[in-house]
Amino acid sequence: MLRWGAGAAGSLAALPALTACGQTVGAARTTTQAPTRRGQKVRLVFWTWVPMQKTVDLWNRTHPDIQVEMQTIPANVQGGYQKMHSSLTAGNPPDLAQVEYHELPGFMLVNGLTNLSEYGADALRDSYVPWQWKQGVFDGKVYTIPQASGPMGLFYRRDLFAKWGIETPTTWAEFEQAARVVKARGNGARLCAFAPNQPPWFAAMCWQRGARWISTEGDTWVVDMDNALSREVADYWERMVRDDLVFVEPDMSSAWYKHVQTGQISAWIGPQWGDALLRGNAPGTAGKWRVAQLPQWEAGQKPASANWGGSSTAILQGTRHPREALQFAHWINTDRKAVDLNVSVGYGWPAATGVFRGSALDKPDPFFGGQRYNDVFTVSDRSIDTSWKWSPTTDADFAQLQDAFGAAIAENGSLAGTLADAQKRTVDNLLAKGLKARSAR
């Protein structure tokens, strides 16, 4: 799965704002191609949190000269990414690693990624969805191979909606009204949960509303988290919390899964890769779920969606086998058998073009009552404004916002009121990296 703690994704950050300060330190050694003799086996190490061992096994059976060892790492900042940065500093990085899109600017800031254009990656461009390809392109050079993203939708329990007389909400006003119905009729159930531990989810909600948190002007990062659209989103969810219309709990936690399993939660605003989480953790609800497009802020408006989750297969700075690593990275994300295996373990929405039709995603699913639910995510994917950007300090920015949300809820504070401080802290984080930054207002 593609996640912050559970995941986040984003869009291209401009390289000039990363290189203006001249920061190129971080990796203890640089990538060089080691010579190989005929018959010599190349061995690669691949770090990921998605359980793709069957895919790696398939590669190893069909590519005997290039053998890959998959090592599982935690899917969070304190675990997986900390380990990656430590390996870069120590000069012993894996050859490949799964790196989320929102993390790429931070890796670029410390010279942590290999320039794949030097090894022929530009020729692969047409194999991938353009906006996902661009996640790893900086200053016109390719630094990662896109893996998958997380277009969002509304997962909901059709049986419970029917029991309570709820029509599938198409607007956020209707979603709020549905929450009030569930509270009144649900015998302790709630429509959904608000997870203060998921700033990437909140960012996606603002993204869908049309807000933009990060932009660049020349070599300067401009931060605009405290804008009217983001405050509107914050006010909406604060009302849902204060009126006791939602559970306040971390999603993908034991409590949350129990609520999902027992029907105490009947909806989840989540990414496409969430299908595997529901299927794997609430098997007793099979056949009862359906998927719909995200509710819209205005009835009749052009559909708007957002993205939560998204990763690339990165070749870290310091590998001795960049050509072979690039070959594996491309294969694991474009080979049809590989993609089907990846999808089955929660890989996400594929970045490769032309693999959806005829794939494991392109069929009715019994867990979702026979619905061709991925058709919903096909539309969602086309409805994402791909101009959203992430900063190279996203990890710190999210950690601070998470703390602020938790404090606001515990102390009956304002969610919208946390955004001004979050904006200031984000500017400070950028300045602390030696980058030029300012607030939008």
Asked whether residue 137 carries a pLDDT value surpassing 60, the answer given is yes
The answer to whether 289 touches 366, Cβ cutoff 8 Å, is no
* Mean pLDDT computed over 33-47: 90
Distance CA 201, CA 197 (A): 9
* Mean pLDDT computed over 25-34: 86
The CATH number that applies at residue 39 is: 3.40.190.10
In a domain, 317, yes or no: yes
Single-letter code of the amino acid located at 283 = P
| Pair type for strands 247-248 and 96-100 | unpaired
The answer to whether 149 touches 307, Cβ cutoff 8 Å, is yes
pTM tops 0.85:
yes
Asked whether residue 311 carries a pLDDT value surpassing 80, the answer given is yes
Quick one: pLDDT band at residue 357, thresholds 50, 70, 90? confident
> Measured in whole angstroms, how far is the alpha carbon of residue 120 from the centre of its chain?
27
In a domain, 237, yes or no: no
> Measured in whole angstroms, how far is the alpha carbon of residue 227 from the centre of its chain?
23
Share of the chain above pLDDT 70, in %: 94
In a domain, 294, yes or no: no
Residue at token pair 């953790």: 281
Nearest to 199, CA basis, from 374, 51, 408, 439: 408
Report the number of distinct structural domains present in the chain. Answer: 1
pLDDT at 360: 83
Single-letter code of the amino acid located at 82 = Q
In a domain, 119, yes or no: yes
Asked whether residue 129 carries a pLDDT value surpassing 60, the answer given is yes
Q: How far is CA 343 from CA 52, 276, 336, 366, 390, in A?
A: 9, 9, 10, 16, 26
Query: pLDDT tens digit string along 147-157?
Result: 999 999 999 99
* Mean pLDDT computed over 416-423: 95
Q: What average pLDDT does the structure give for the chain?
A: 91
In a domain, 128, yes or no: yes
In a domain, 325, yes or no: yes
In DSSP notation, 19-58 reads: HTT------SS---PPP--TTPPEEEEEEESS--HHHHHH
| Pair type for strands 144-157 and 349-350 | antiparallel
* Mean pLDDT computed over 393-416: 93
pLDDT at 344: 84
pLDDT at 17: 54
Asked whether residue 55 carries a pLDDT value surpassing 80, the answer given is yes
Q: Sign of torsion, CA 128 7 378 370?
A: positive
In a domain, 181, yes or no: no
pLDDT at 78: 63
Tell me the range of 69-73, 136-140, 357-361 where mean pLDDT is highest. Answer: 69-73
Quick one: pLDDT band at residue 4, thresholds 50, 70, 90? very low
HSE, side-chain direction, 13 A CA sphere, residue 135: 33
In a domain, 402, yes or no: no
Nearest to 109, CA basis, from 436, 439, 396, 435: 435
- Among 11-20, 69-78, 93-102, 179-188, the range scoring the smallest mean pLDDT is 11-20
* Mean pLDDT computed over 135-151: 94
Asked whether residue 229 carries a pLDDT value surpassing 90, the answer given is yes
Residue 97 domain boundaries: 16-150+307-382
Distance CA 40, CA 64 (A): 10
Asked whether residue 352 carries a pLDDT value surpassing 90, the answer given is yes
pLDDT at 10: 38
